[in-house]
Structure 1
Amino acid sequence: MPRVVSVFLPLWPTDRFRRKSGAAAPPADKPLILVGRDGRRRVVLAADTAAQGLGLRVGMPASKAQALVQNLHVEDADPQGDSEALDRLALWALRRYSPVVSADPPDGLVIDATGAAHLHGGEDAMLADILCRLAAAGFTAQAAMADSWGAAHALARFAARPTLVARPGRSAEAILSLAVAALRLPGDMVDSLRRLGFESIGDLTSSPRAPLTLRFGPELGRRLDQAIGRINEPVEPIRPMDIVEVRCAFGEPIGSAETIARYAGRLVDQLCAVLEERGLGARRLDLLLGRVDNGIEAICVGTAMPVRDAKRLTRLLTDKIETVDPGFGIELMRLAATLAEPLQPKQAVSSLIDKPQADVSELIDTLANRVGEGRLYRFAPVESEVPERSVMKIAPAAPDCGEDWPIQWPRPTRLLPMPEPIETVALLPDHPPVTFTWRGIRRRVRRADGPERIFGEWWKRDAELTAVRDYFQVEDEAGERFWIFRAGDGEDAATGSHKWFLHGIFA
């Protein structure tokens, strides 16, 4: 079942102005409007949250807005720049989230997330990640996922707070209570429908179609069918000007997996030839299959390092062909390297003087494309004495960061995400526990080593100026070894709560 994401940017022009202005931008609490020409009149084309809170609206004469609000910050609007920036934002989403992304002017994006959400931790996690990254860049956003572009568009603008995921197969039900304006209809048509008593989409679906079509034309029925999923509305993916892309059109539609795999291999050969001419290697490939019903099936694969090996790339693509639904047939195939990086020829390694190094990048690529790129990682050390801050996740093929693990004291092979409280019997201040209870199981300590005292990082937070932890390695009667600590030095209450916690488990 298709799944489409609609991203709504309600303050796109003003957010983009503030981001572009940097330190020269007005404070967030100072009302800002962007004005432009509507014929001979100067009107408000965009207003930020503060301006809207004072009653300023898009379409209002600029002179009236300035008369209503003192110290109003007024700037010239840049619709052309907003449109170009929206295309650049769509290219960013294309490289990060899905092979089928398009700008949805004037203030949104549309993403075909069919088969792509699991690569980002699921549908809810994907929407949360999109909004988190946009917020970090200074953009206010709302997002919704549904079975169709029309439904996702309506939910993102009229129901998302700030995200909403309509269950597969239930998108039509989710939009019935929304206002008629959610159907992307012209403003005069929306006003006419309201005057006739149609307030919600549900009112339209329960009314005979013929009188509405006779009065308003086919546009109303088309938008309604697109929203509830009766009519397919394909997303035409945006493509950067310098993208490396090859395509193949068919006189007769194809549908078998073997035929698709064969032509995919031919396209990979052509693509690798172009990449070699440009000295590039592919980091991500998008195979788009255009169906005869205007639907688009997509296969997206990524690599840990730039690759130009045709057999390897073909294998990654063909591993996912079983996920393709050809429908009534595929009439067009397009293969694009949406992410490519320089790849220089490598000199062959001599077995006489050089020790060959194992290349696990192909295994990394296979696993990452099966389980998701975000689920495949390795740990790297971080320069910090605090255990939970001394490790970070990095990409499997990322270069070493230059740090090394501490060697003064051994560290457990498994560090818990958060220290878990335990109940102990111990002598203060320097003795390890005699017994401790963790997750309802009481354990008697047979051997112990410690304490290893770790101080807080006072340069990060004032609260850590006096913070202390005393860590012990303990072994119970069953031979299991644990890493536990006492918060505080055991004497001064200012150094910690003196409660005990379990932080890690040794192999």
Structure 2
Amino acid sequence: MARRLLSIWFPRLASDTSLRRRPLEGPFALIHRSGNTDHVHCLNTAAEQRGLRQGMAQADARAICPSLITRPADLTREAATLVALRRWAGRYAPMVAVDGADGLIADITGVPHLFGGEAELRDDLHARVQRAGLTVSSAITETRGAAHALARHGGGVIPEGGLVERIGRLPVSALRIDSKTSEALARMGLIRISDLIAQPRAPLARRFGPGLMMRLDQALGVQPEPVAPATEAPHFGVRMTLPDPIGLQADVMAGLSRLLDRLCETLERHHMGARRLRLELHRVDRETAQVEIGLARAMRDPARIMALFAKGVEEVEAGFGIDAMRLSAHVAEALPPKQLGGGPNLRHEEALTDLFSRLGNRLGFDRVLRLLPAQSKIPERSFLLSPAAHSKAEAPPRRHGPERPIILFPPEPVTISGLRHPRTPPVRFRWRRMQFTTLRVTGPERIAPEWWFDDPAWRNGLRDYWRVETLEGPRLWLFYTPQASNWFTQGEFV
């Protein structure tokens, strides 16, 4: 049995999808920002009839068509739509793969007779897609390259034995080559694929590289090109339908406990851990309540996860009762198996993770921060603030030199009462409305500005840092700026 491939092309997938959600009349375009310029990403038929084309600058498009209506392009939603169409196209073939950003390729070998033939299969596909509000073009032939080319240049069905004659009429740009190569071939007079087939292969390969010959061989079937659908990502979700509606918090938590056990077993089989979970509670009146939580670390421990749901479940209004529950981990990360036990260090780490999770769900995970060490001699740059849920604790690097204070704050001026020497710490000084007497000093430690950073706080130049022990008890970190002859306090030793 000869191999038969179906190429499906959605020329206006992004604009059709956007207009399906929010219809409007007249010329319409989706705009995508690339670099510093907004470009036309996708058009509807009315905009194309006005002379607009994909890839042109938005300013040029508005100059040609002042009544153009635009929306920002959503590439993520567009990719998700194509994946959904790939799943739907499984009704026509057992293997369907994504072909670029706006197309699909399906191996329909042995399938067309179920629809009455290849032409009937195409008619059924076009009718269903057009009812959904999408523009479509398709082609059926023996090779993936030929099907791709024909689908984007009119579509149709190429019977067995008619491949070379039919695709020979198409332009060389249909071979999935870059625009520079197709323009260079056109300047040589090689406009159609039939012109390219008749030429000696060696000179073309030397001038344009092996890619041109590879695409030509794939279209002609000399070099095979498989249809390999992407592996489906596992879905981590479980559901429960209840025989009678429930409304008590204890009943909901009992049902959640069963769902969590099943979900965590699925996560464990895939060596994954949940980072965000969503509980959907379907009520008798067809309303749905949602409780969503986040986790500071990937986790699949039902007891620890369940404790985080308690507050959200308590606030749910059950109405006339809840008759179905659904739990899903819509964000998951790899979590390999761990050795049981682990001692007090592991228990401490788990307790800290639970604390970060509780605080993150209440305050927001981006607001729970931790300090991380940074490679800088400048005190203000010796640490970084990072969300605790998205970073790991790091030990500070070993320093060689004077001790640094535990408590660090922005520089605060001190009032000098007496000096031993212009560049040594004052005998008496006033700071934060308190009078201090110097008992012992250690230093100085000279720190120069990092010239590659334009920091306004360090534009005064050098700083000489001193460790000052006072008669009153506090041990302070003072610095002197030789350029301005001023003293400041920036830290305190514990």
Q: Distance in 2 between matches of 1:500 and 1:87?
A: 63
Shift of 1:280: 1.4
- TM value normalised by structure 1: 0.51
Determine if the alignment matches structure 1 residue 415 to structure 2 residue 408.
yes
Q: State yes or no: 1:261 paired with 2:253.
A: yes
Query: What SS does the corresponding residue of 2:401 show, helix, strand or coil?
Result: coil
Q: Tell me, yes or no, if the aligned pair for 1:458 and 1:465 is still in contact at 8 Å.
A: no
1:457 aligns with 2:450: yes
Asked if residue 324 in structure 1 is aligned to residue 299 in structure 2, the reply is: no
Q: Deviations over 1:132-182 (max 9, x none)?
A: xxxxxxxxxxxxxxxxxxxxxxxxxxxxxxxxxxxxxxxxxxxxxxxxxxx
Q: Is the 8 A contact 1:255 1:326 kept in 2?
A: yes
Q: For the structure 1 residues 318 and 49, does the alpha-carbon distance in structure 2 shift closer, same or farther, using more than 3 Å as the test?
A: farther
Residue 306 of structure 1 deviates from its aligned partner by 2.6
**1:369 counterpart = 2:360:** no
2:242 pairs, out of 246, 250, 253, with 250
The answer for the alignment partner of 1:476 in structure 2 is 470
The match for 2:479 is 485
Secondary structure class of the residue paired with 2:50: strand
SS of the equivalent of 2:347 reads coil
Instruction: Note the alpha carbon deviations across 1:59-116, whole angstroms, 9 max, x for none.
Output: 4499xxxxxxxxxxxxxx997957416889xxxxxxxxxxxxxxxxxxxxxxxxxxxx
Paired position in structure 1 for 2:374: 382
Counterpart in the other structure of 1:498: 485
**Secondary structure of 1:272 counterpart:** helix
Matched to 2:239, the amino acid is R
Deviation at 1:266, TM superposition (A): 0.7
- Aligned residue type for 2:238: V
Whether contact under 8 Å (1:47, 1:58) holds in the other structure is no
The alpha-carbon deviation at position 384 of structure 1 amounts to 0.6
Distance 2:493 2:400 in 1: 15
Q: Look up the SS of the partner of 2:358 in the other structure.
A: helix
The reply to whether residue 342 of structure 1 matches residue 349 of structure 2 is no
Give how far 1:473 is off. Answer: 2.0
Partner of residue 50 from structure 2, selected from 32, 36, 42 = 42
Q: CA 1:423/1:324 → structure 2, altered by over 3 Å: closer, same or farther? A: farther
Distance 1:446 1:302 in 2: 52
1:413-441 Cα shifts (integer Å, max 9, x gaps): 2211x323333345454211233333333
Shift of 1:44: 5.9
The answer to whether the 8 Å contact 2:374/2:382 transfers is yes
The within-5 A match list for 1:18-37 is: 18=34, 25=35, 27-28=36-37, 32-33=39-40, 36-37=43-44
Post-superposition Cα deviations, 1:360-402, rounded to whole Å, max 9, x if no partner, equal: 2332233223322344443222111001111123455744557
The offset of 1:52, in angstroms, is: 9.6
Q: Partner of 1:359: helix, strand, or coil?
A: helix
**Matched residue pairs, number?**
310
For residues 453 and 269 of structure 1, the distance between their equivalents in structure 2, rounded to whole angstroms, comes to: 59
Gap runs ≥5 in structure 1: 1-11, 19-24, 63-76, 89-239
Matched, 1:273 2:260: no
The residue that corresponds to 2:91 in the other structure is none
Q: CA deviation digits over 1:4-33, x for unaligned, max 9?
A: xxxxxxxx943x341xxxxxx4x44xx755
- Cα distance in 1, alignment partners of residues 326 and 66 from structure 2: 41
The Cα offsets for residues 213-259 of structure 1, whole Å up to 9 and x where unpaired, read as xxxxxxxxxxxxxxxxxxxxxxxxxxx96431112233543221101
- Structure 1 position 445 matched with structure 2 position 452: no
C-alpha displacement at 1:292, in angstroms?
4.4
Cα pair 2:367 2:387 within 8 Å, conserved: no
Q: 1:384 to 1:255 in 2, by over 3 A?
A: same
Q: Secondary structure at the match of 1:370?
A: helix
Is 1:306 matched up with 2:314? no
Quote the Cα distance in structure 1 between the aligned partners of 2:243 and 2:334: 36
- Superposition pairs of residues 53-202 of structure 1, within 5 angstroms: 59-60=67-68, 81=75, 83-84=77-78
User: d(CA) in 1 for partners of 2:56 and 2:395?
Assistant: 45
Equivalent pair of 2:304/2:354 in contact (CA under 8 Å): no
Does the CA contact (< 8 Å) of 1:412 and 1:506 recur in 2? yes
User: How far is 1:404 from its partner?
Assistant: 0.8
Alignment check: 8 A CA contact 2:293 2:309 kept: yes
Q: Which amino acid aligns with 1:366?
A: D
Q: Which amino acid aligns with 1:478?
A: E
- Report percent identity of matched pairs: 32
Task: Name the aligned partner's letter for residue 305 of structure 2.
Answer: L
Structure 2 residue matching 1:357: 3-state secondary structure:
helix
Alpha-carbon distance, 1:42 to partner? 3.1
In the aligned structure 2, how far is the partner of 1:32 from the partner of 1:342? Answer: 38
Moved more, 333-342 or 33-42: 33-42
8 A contact 1:302–1:365 mirrored in 2: no
Contact map agreement 2:33 2:39 (CA 8 A) in 1: no
Question: Deviation at 1:265?
Answer: 0.3
Matches within 5 A, 1:211-226: none
Structure of greater Rg: 2
**Hey, what's the Cα distance between the residues in 2 that align with 1:245 and 1:33?**
38
Q: Distance in 2 between matches of 1:467 and 1:294?
A: 68
